Amino acid sequence: MKILARALPLLTLLLLSVVPANAQSWPTRPIKIIVSQAAGGTPDIICRLVSAQLSILLGQQVVVENRPGGANVVGAVAAAHSAPDGYTLFFATAAALVSNPHTFKTLPYDPVKDFVAISMVAKNPFLILAHPSVAANTLPELFAYDKANPGKLTFATDGRRNFSGILATWLNKAGGGNILQVPYATMPQGIQDTMAGRTQLTILSPPSAAPYIASGALKPLAISWSKRLPQYAQVPVISEAYPGVELTGWFVIAAPTGTPVDIITRLNQELDKILKTPEMVSRLAEFGFFSDGAETPEATRAFVRAQYELWSRVVREIGLEPE
């Protein structure tokens, strides 16, 4: 017993020293980032831009693995069920972490319990666009026209349960309108129909909208952001007319719950360096995304929690039933 009593402090010291040593030696092999959308899309492209730089800073290859399908569910499940060892990360969309839980009745993963947010990547606003023939230049004017001319306006969206559809429904509720949605399987067709006047309204990211605005094919009415964009300083944010209505897209990098804290800290620090370089800021802007760096893991988690609560409120307010 005396020998055991003397050995216990030494054993405890040894065990405590092993954990930091292992974490400090990370990474010793390639790291995988799961993207829950197909190759070639905006999430995939941005993830590859970030992972290429992360490979350099970590001294290990960071590979992107596309797991599309099921409205981000397939990729989210794969990431959630991975070992929490720092070698599998998740390039998470807003849909995967905060809207799916409120639009699906059940999910094979728990976005709150299964993931820990590591860093913010970027956020993007959307423009509400109208055909030039629409006799309105602001959202209040749009809804006044809709009330005076019921049934004359239609909104091209990607479906009532997807981002543009939910935003269009929320706008209708906020403005007291009744603008009909026309859902499209592919938004390029919806854009073409809006430019042709077959539908009168649509929602696009600023880079996607830029050529149509420049040519006069579409006119911007509002932006779903917290502030006006410098390149569209004349376009008001939605909340100027309807306080509290603000819906944006975003990406964060997350890991399976249980990933060591020091690995999360290291990743956050390296990602912050990457996201603050002028080159990365410029490339993100090309896709309509804005970044203030990785922020802290705690700030990122607080943001995701707030977004989770926002989507819960929005879905209830617009009466969208989970399926």
Range of the domain at 85: 30-124+248-317
Residue 19 pLDDT greater than 90, yes or no? no
Q: What percent of the chain has pLDDT over 90?
A: 85
Determine contact, residues 87/267, Cβ cutoff 8 Å. Answer: no
Is the same domain home to 141 and 234? yes
Is the same domain home to 35 and 134? no
Is the same domain home to 145 and 234? yes
What pLDDT is attached to residue 161? Answer: 86
What pLDDT is attached to residue 13? Answer: 45
Q: Find the Cα–Cα–Cα–Cα dihedral 109, 114, 117, 121, rounded to 10°.
A: -20
Domain boundary among 241, 274, 293: 241
pLDDT bin (cut points 50, 70, 90) of residue 17 is: very low
2 belongs to a structural domain:
no
Q: In CATH, what number is assigned to the domain containing residue 305?
A: 3.40.190.150
**Per the structure, how many domains does the chain have?**
2
What pLDDT is attached to residue 180? Answer: 96
What pLDDT is attached to residue 186? Answer: 85
Residue 5 pLDDT greater than 60, yes or no? no
Mean pLDDT of the 90-97 span: 96
Residue 70 pLDDT greater than 70, yes or no? yes
What pLDDT is attached to residue 297? Answer: 98
Residue pLDDT, tens place only, 269-292:
999 999 999 999 999 999 889 999
d(CA 188, CA 262): 44
1 belongs to a structural domain:
no
**pTM of the shown model:** 0.87
d(CA 3, CA 92): 52
Residue 47 pLDDT greater than 80, yes or no? yes
Is the same domain home to 252 and 119? yes
- What SS3 state is found at 160? coil
What pLDDT is attached to residue 185? Answer: 87
Mapped to the 3 state alphabet, what secondary structure does 99-115 carry? Answer: HHHHHCCCCCCCCCCCE
Residue 14 pLDDT greater than 90, yes or no? no
Domain boundary among 241, 275, 296: 241
Is the same domain home to 180 and 275? no
Is the same domain home to 258 and 301? yes
Is the same domain home to 117 and 132? no
Is the same domain home to 66 and 83? yes
Residue pLDDT, tens place only, 99-155:
999 999 999 999 999 999 999 999 999 999 999 999 999 999 999 999 999 999 999
Is the same domain home to 252 and 282? yes
d(CA 289, CA 93): 13
Q: In CATH, what number is assigned to the domain containing residue 221?
A: 3.40.190.10
Residue 16 pLDDT greater than 60, yes or no? no
Domain boundary among 241, 266, 290: 241
Task: At 152, give phi and psi (nearest 5°).
Answer: -90, -20
309 dihedral zone (left: phi>0; alpha: psi -120 to 50; beta): alpha
